[in-house]
A and B are shown apart, each in its own frame.
Chain A
Amino acid sequence: MASSQDDLYREAAAAYGGALDRLARAYEAGTDKRRDLMQEIHFALWRSFETFDARCSMRTWIYRVAHNVAASHVARQRRYSPVPLASLEEVQAVADPNPSQLGADREHALNRLLALVHRLKPLDRQVILSYLEGLDATAIGEITGISPGNAATKIHRIKAVLARQFHQGGHHAE
């Protein structure tokens, strides 16, 4: 059992290590705390493989564990924060006076993207991150627990928010 657990972890870390690093960056801005969060995610992932039963895909399993650990981390960090997190709808309602040019300065665009993600409530954050990782509405529904239809509505909102925040040189996020 232990070797299977270890093998599953190795496989997951090799295939999704980069995605998990990006996920941790989206939940924690501080470098040291992010390193701790990464370790926590990897440890939780390894522990979770003790009970992996392939009832859902490996990808869904990994993202669920990672998002659940990261959301708990945010809840702990924000326990005494006076600034509330916003929903996608609230972010959508606020106009952005200074949209960025995505192609021009990617580092700046990435920082703006991260700032947007850091403002969101846990579930909306999970949806936007899954969208940015290239997952479709069905996969997002499996991970988060919302219906594919609801996920599709949220993706539509995300596209509108991103289009408003970033000029895309003639392209639109599809």
Chain B
Amino acid sequence: MPNELPPDDPRSVWQCQRVEHTVMSLDEIRKKARSYQGKIRFRNSLEYAAVVFITLFFSHTIWTVHHLVMQVGAGLCIAGGWYMAWQLHRRGPARAVPADLAAATCLGFHRSELVRQRDLLRDTWSWYLGPLIPGLAVLTLGAGLANPGHPRRAWLFVGGYSALVAAAFLIVWRYNLRCAGRLQTQIDELDSMEKQS
């Protein structure tokens, strides 16, 4: 093909560029497959480690605080952490590359990736922020109730801490929503392209 093109045709310039012509041996491929499986195992281990850390941390709280409301709050935090880790594992951003990559056209594959990322960002409340709220709320309330000797100071702490957490959650939510909006624009562009097809 390059020989049939005039030398100053951009396609000729492109096709005649010097390249390495990479070919991986089957041994290298199998090594890569093992390293790929290793990466997946490492990612899973990190998720399990985070769940173990959350469980140990809040179990310690349950064991040491001796206040029922705080213990319930810590228990809810553990449950929220488990739920979040499960959701992250289910729809995580580091999802394995699918084996049937060629089954989808580039347009279809690109769109499905954008939709997956958009949903992940848009549904922050249902899988990321939301599950943590009951535990943190009950734990904070418990911290206020656990100090009847200094009610003013305790409720000032509860109010300040709650406001801080609420502000942090709102910032994360707004930021994710903005990113999801940018992805939606790209999805709309692809959809309009599909309609033209």
Listed in ascending order, the chain A residues whose CB lies under 8 Å from chain B are: 6, 9-10, 13-14, 17-18, 20-22, 25, 38-40, 42-44, 46-48, 50-52, 56, 60-62, 64-65, 67-69, 71-72, 75, 87, 101-103, 106, 109-110, 113, 122-123, 126, 131-134, 142-147, 149-150, 162, 166, 168-169, 171, 173-174
Contact = CB atoms under 8 A, between A and B. Distances in A.
Which of A43, A65, A113 is packed against the most chain B CB atoms within 10 Å?
A: A43
Contact of A48 (B1, B8, B100, B108): B100
B101 A68 contact: yes
A10 to B, nearest CB: 8
Given A17-B21, A20-B22, A64-B101, A103 B7 contact: yes
Contacts of B107: 123, 144-146
Contact of A102 (B8, B33, B103, B110): B8
B193 interface: yes
B197 A113 contact: no
Interface stretch (B10-18, B56-64, B125-133, B158-166): B10-18
Contacts of A132: 10-11, 14-15
Given A22-B19, A123-B110, A147-B197, 6 more contacts: A17-B22, A144-B107, A145-B105, A150-B193, A171-B6, A171-B8
Contacts of B105: 64, 142-145
B24 to A, nearest CB: 5
Nearest to A151: B197
A48 B102 contact: yes
Given A38-B22, A123-B110, A132-B15, A150 B197 contact: yes
Contacts of B99: 47-48, 50-51
Interface of B: 1, 6-11, 13-17, 19-24, 26, 28-29, 32-33, 36, 97, 99-110, 113, 189-190, 193-194, 196-197
13 contacts: A9-B29, A22-B17, A25-B19, A42-B32, A65-B101, A68-B106, A72-B97, A102-B7, A145-B105, A149-B197, A168-B8, A168-B9, A173-B9
B14 to A, nearest CB: 4
A123 B106 contact: yes
| Chain B interface mostly | helix
A147 B19 CA distance: 31
A131 B24 CA distance: 26
The 6 tightest CB contacts between A and B, nearest first, are A145-B105, A145-B107, A147-B197, A21-B19, A102-B8, A132-B14
A131 B11 contact: yes
Contact of A17 (B1, B23, B194): B23
A91 B6 CA distance: 25
Contacts of B100: 48, 51
Given A71-B110, A171-B6, A43 B23 contact: no
Contacts of A52: 102
B102 A64 contact: yes
B23 A44 contact: no
B168 to A, nearest CB: 20
A61 B102 contact: yes
Contact of B106 (A10, A38, A64): A64
A48 B101 contact: yes
A137 B197 CA distance: 12
Contact of B10 (A61, A144, A173): A173
B97 A21 contact: no
